[in-house]
């Protein structure tokens, strides 16, 4: 979407609470596994307004029309005072570890579905799409389609791609493309990819997801992926998991290796390039995240419409001072979304070398 059209699009959004972390899915999701092989999620309708997600042959989650009906979502948004939602795929559907052909097809179908939902209420919805990360060239192509053709903010990706870290050099072209598009990349843990040990202990949600996000973030900083992709806007889900808490220890680990390391290269300094959402369920944890990433780099996120969601949206903001609260409720999200699709200034300058 050209810059002027995108500016107009953002200006047309309803002002108010801006929730960047919600999920949606097509209730008639095609069973791509039956065509491409692999193990892909599928959906069984259980009623006119309800359905069941099937993952690896087992019931994964009972879902309802809030996952696919713009009008159902708008009712809740109006009741809770949410002006805008960013729709993104349910993470288990990202399927970065499955055959690439199936993942690419599922991403395409999901992105077209999300675009249809957004079109129902473009002043209330934006979207982040899916990409087949296991095939970086196709991930770049789908990311570009999402931003340029579908008018999305960017895409949602998992914290790893099979056994590969996001920081692996094979994914540099993806992050460089995200940089050139000034795209938003929501990094979201996928419960299917968590350490089996944590699942057996029953800590997949409480410990596995925050840990997984921390590993991905630490690896991205250490690999200098961000240096190669300065225009990408990387947002860590769930208040960045446990990452804010462990940053001082990451710094100390760096200094143990190189006592003279420049302060600007420490993880805590480099982390200020990242963003996170507010889904911490706890104001002290939220304030720590704000301290780590900066007052401008934390945005409202709820995980609507699932059981884990924060309800009402932004409940954790109670007790924050008025200025910070207004930033987290919407001002920061507006800044996060500004100029998506436009080349960042440092790349524009490259066209006119001195």
Q: Which residues bind Zn ion (CB under 5 A)?
A: 303
Nearest distance from residue 53's CB to Zn ion, in Å? 14
Q: Which is nearer to Zn ion, 40 or 304 (CB)?
A: 304
How are beta strands 82-89 and 17-24 bridged, if at all? parallel
Nearer to Zn ion, 87 or 271 (CB): 87
CB nearer to Zn ion: give 62 or 149.
62
CB of 91 to Zn ion, least distance (A): 6
Residue nearest Zn ion, Cβ-based? 303
* Nearest distance, CB of residue 303 and Zn ion, angstroms: 4
Distance spanning both ends of the chain, measured CA to CA: 29
Taking the complex as a whole, the smallest distance from the CB of residue 101 to Zn ion amounts, in Å, to 26
Q: In this complex, which beta carbon is closest to Zn ion, that of residue 303 or of residue 329?
A: 303
Give me the least distance between CB of 11 and Zn ion, in Å please: 28
In the complex, least distance from residue 300 CB atom to Zn ion, rounded to whole angstroms: 13
Compare residues 26 and 303 and give the one whose CB is closer to Zn ion: 303
Q: Give the nearest distance from C-beta 21 to Zn ion in angstroms.
A: 6
Q: Is 138 or 192 the residue whose CB approaches Zn ion more closely?
A: 192
> Which residue pairs from 52-57 have beta carbons closer than 8 angstroms and sit at least 24 positions apart in sequence?
53/25, 53/90, 53/92, 55/92, 55/192, 56/192
């Amino acid at each position: 979407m050209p810059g002027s059209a995108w500016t107009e699009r953002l200006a047309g959004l309803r002002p108010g609470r801006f929730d960047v972390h919600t999920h949606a899915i097509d209730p008639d999701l095609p069973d791509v596994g039956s065509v491409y092989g692999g193990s892909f999620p599928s959906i069984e309708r259980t009623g006119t307004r309800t359905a069941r997600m099937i993952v690896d042959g087992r019931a994964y989650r009972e879902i309802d029309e809030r996952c696919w009906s713009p009008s159902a979502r708008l009712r809740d948004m109006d009741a809770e005072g949410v002006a805008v939602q960013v729709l993104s795929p349910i993470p288990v559907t990202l399927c970065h570890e499955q055959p690439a052909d199936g993942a690419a097809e599922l991403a395409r179908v999901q992105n077209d579905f999300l675009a249809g939902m957004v079109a129902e209420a473009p002043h209330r919805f934006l979207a982040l799409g899916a990409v087949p990360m296991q095939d970086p060239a196709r991930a770049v192509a789908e990311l570009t389609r999402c931003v340029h053709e579908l008018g999305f903010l960017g895409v949602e990706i998992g914290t790893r791609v099979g056994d590969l870290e996001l920081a692996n050099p094979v994914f540099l072209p993806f992050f460089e493309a995200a940089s050139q598009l000034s795209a938003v990349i929501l990094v979201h843990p996928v419960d299917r990819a968590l350490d089996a040990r944590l699942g057996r202990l029953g800590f997949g949600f409480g410990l596995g997801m925050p840990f997984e996000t921390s590993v991905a973030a630490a690896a991205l900083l250490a690999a200098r992926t961000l240096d190669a992709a300065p225009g990408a806007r990387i947002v860590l889900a769930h208040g960045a998991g446990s990452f804010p808490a462990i940053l001082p220890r990451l710094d100390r680990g760096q200094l143990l290796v190189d006592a003279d390391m420049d302060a600007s290269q420490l993880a805590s300094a480099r982390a200020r390039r990242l963003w996170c959402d507010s889904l911490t369920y706890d104001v002290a944890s939220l304030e720590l995240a704000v301290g780590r990433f900066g007052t401008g780099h934390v945005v409202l996120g709820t995980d609507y419409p699932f059981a884990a969601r924060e309800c009402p949206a932004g409940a954790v903001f109670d007790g924050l001072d008025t200025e910070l609260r207004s930033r987290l409720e919407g001002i920061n999200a507006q800044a996060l979304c500004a100029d998506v699709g436009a080349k960042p200034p440092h790349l524009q300058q490259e066209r006119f070398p001195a």
